Amino acid sequence: MCVFVTAIAVYYVTQQESYLYTPLSGFYGVLSGLLVGIKQLMPEMELNLFVLKIKGKWIPSLIALISVVVSFFMKDLVSYLPVILFGIYMSWIYLRYFQKRLETGLKGDPSEEFSFSSFFPAILRPVLDPIATIFHRLLCGRSDRADRGQTLETSSLPGSDSTEANRRRERGQRALEQRLAEKLAAVKSTESTSLDASDKV
């Protein structure tokens, strides 16, 4: 719906019929939404791209930036830009405000790591946070706390629910096991080289 309205608005501004008749694939929006899911579930996961290491929390922002830059140079790709950007934005809205969490009974992800300003560099966050807060209050109002079934006294800190704690604990345990396995392998290799050297003597 958003892409359709955007296509009509761009047509009225530019008077180019190609924006109305270009066939679009919604799968770009689906892929963008999956990238937002990666940001939510695995923000610290590192993705190796040739020489660069990119954390999962920056993948949607990077894809949006690349899409905007490429659309300036390739006019054919401009029609896909709204699909990608709205895919990122709508999936963030769903995960932030509407996704039901069965383990806690709450809706959405109120953590600071998943706020709207977290998609942008830290330099822009002081400017974006007040604007995002205004829109949050306009759209959600006072019903936000009632929908979540929380009051100020009973609300838990972001990221303090048991699932998040278990996920962090498992991540830490995996990292610890990996380090221990690496050290054990290093010790075994030094022992085997010393045994080989003593056998030769």
Residue pLDDT, tens place only, 78-133: 778 888 999 999 998 888 888 887 777 778 888 888 888 888 888 888 888 888 88
Name the burial class of residue 59, with classes exposed (0-12), middle (13-18) and buried (19+) by CB atoms within 10 angstroms of its CB. buried
Rounded Cα–Cα distance for residues 17 and 14 (Å): 9
Q: Which of 150, 141, 46, 32 is nearest to 86 (CA)?
A: 32
Neighbours of 109 (CB within 10 A): 19
Residue 198 confidence (pLDDT): 60
Handedness of CA 25, 87, 80, 14 (dihedral sign): positive
Q: Are 96 and 117 in contact (CB under 8 A)?
A: no
Rounded Cα–Cα distance for residues 28 and 34 (Å): 10
Does 142 have pLDDT greater than 60?
Answer: no
Does 197 have pLDDT greater than 60?
Answer: no
pLDDT tens digit string along 33-87?
A: 999 999 888 888 888 878 888 888 888 989 999 999 998 888 777 778 888 999 9
pLDDT band at 171 (very low <50, low <70, confident <90, very high): confident
Residue 102 confidence (pLDDT): 78
Rounded Cα–Cα distance for residues 24 and 80 (Å): 7
Strand, coil or helix: what is 17? Answer: coil
Residue 34 confidence (pLDDT): 92
